[in-house]
A = this chain, B = another copy of it.
Amino acid sequence: MIEDKNPKRTPLSELGEFKLIEHLTEQFKVKQKSTVTSIGDDAAVLNYDKKQIVVTTDLLVEGVHFDLSYVPLKHLGYKAIIVNLSDVYAMNATATQVTVSIAVSNRFPLEALEELYAGIATAAEIYNVDVVGGDTTSSTSGLIISVTAIGEVKKGEEVLRSGAKPNDLLVITGDIGGAYMGLQILEREKEVFKVNPNSQPDLSMYTYIIERQLKPEARKDIVELLKELEVKPTSMIDISDGLSSEVIHLCKQSKVGVDVYENKIPLDPQVISTCEEFNIDSTTIALNGGEDYELLMTISQEDFPKIKGNPNLTVIGYMTEEDRGMHLVTRAETKIPIIAKGWNALGES
């Protein structure tokens, strides 16, 4: 319903594996100084001089992580890179390279893969990372994308999940809940489309939240901003599974508790209005929604003056001793325990 269905369909078998990889990857130019040799050998050669590197990997599976009936392939390629870069930034590192492997069934023509790779190339361009390797193979059903991202960070500048201390401030970037509510809109329109394929939905009220779902961005800017502000967070994580889940990770790995203030959680007006339309509590969405790819960090109280008033950073709570537990302080000033209800990729589905 969003994607322009391309009428040209070149079967993948026309090219064969090597020519296909060559065709899809010839657009990738090396820009990073650390990329010594890229695609075309058994492995890429990388040189980070004296810097440490960070490595992270994610697998996206059709029917589990995305639905091609409303996700354009170009957006999917873009998002596959973003979700991995987000993990690199959550280490306070600079993303430098990615490898991209795809398994694809024969129902996809070459043109579909070109779209996917166009999205990958766009993300690589915007985030200044080199695509240095990968694998392309067939699958018995559907599309699977596996991305590994590598970043560099000076020794001692990496930020783990485990460094939060009691009294540290809990800080979040941007706003949350948008990606989840965008998905609700897309799912609803898919159902409408099934009933009436000629319907022309007016989605202009939902542009921000749909973009949050289909074309999320990773917070490269925040890593740069923190350097500028001379703030090194004590811990950091990216918000892929929902705020509750990530807060729990930080607390457990840092052995601290937390008080999160409901009235401080940053929500976009479109999230609030769409939650009202769907008759869902917006705090529930913020806590459990997922896929926002914002960063959640803790900073020492003495760094507060450096971040105060910055529109990108919102203090939403503070860390406590571990035995105080993890709580949401509601608008009514009652304390309720934070439990993870985030999206579970291995749930009952």
Given contacts A45-B158, A135-B58, contact A103 B64 (CB under 8 A): yes
Task: Say yes or no: A59 contacts B151, CB within 8 Å.
Answer: no
Among the listed stretches A142-150, A194-202, A209-217, A317-325, which one makes contact with chain B, having 4 or more residues with CB under 8 Å of it? A142-150
Stretch at the interface among A34-42, A184-192, A272-280, A299-307: A34-42
A237 at the interface (CB under 8 A from B): yes
A187-245 CB contacts (< 8 Å) to partner B: 236-238
How far apart are A53's CB and chain B's nearest CB, in angstroms? Answer: 5
Does A138 interact with chain B (Cβ within 8 Å)? yes
Report the minimal beta-carbon distance from A251 to chain B, rounded to whole angstroms.
14
CB closest chain-B residue, reference A13 = B348
Q: Does A69 contact B (CB under 8 A)?
A: no
Q: A42-B236, A48-B53 are in contact. List 17 more A-B contacts (CB 8 A).
A: A12-B346, A16-B347, A17-B345, A37-B158, A41-B160, A45-B153, A46-B52, A47-B52, A50-B50, A55-B99, A57-B148, A61-B144, A63-B140, A64-B137, A106-B349, A138-B346, A148-B148
Are A55 and B40 interface neighbours, CB within 8 A? no
B346 near A59 with CB under 8 A, answer: no
Contact of A59 among B46, B93, B101, B236 (CB under 8 A): B101
Query: Are the CB atoms of B101 and A139 closer together than 8 Å?
Result: no
- Are B155 and A101 interface neighbours, CB within 8 A? no
Question: For A53, what are the chain B residues with a Cβ–Cβ distance below 8 Å?
Answer: 45-48, 53
Residue interface bits A52-77, CB-to-B below 8 A is 1, else 0? 11111111011111000000000000
Q: Determine whether the beta carbon of A55 is less than 8 Å from that of B97.
A: yes
Q: Which of B101, B151, B161 contacts A146 (CB 8 A)?
A: B101
A64-B139 in contact (CB<8A): yes
Chain B residues, Cβ within 8 Å of A64: 103, 137-140
Pick out which of these stretches binds chain B: A83-91, A169-177, A263-271, A330-338.
A83-91
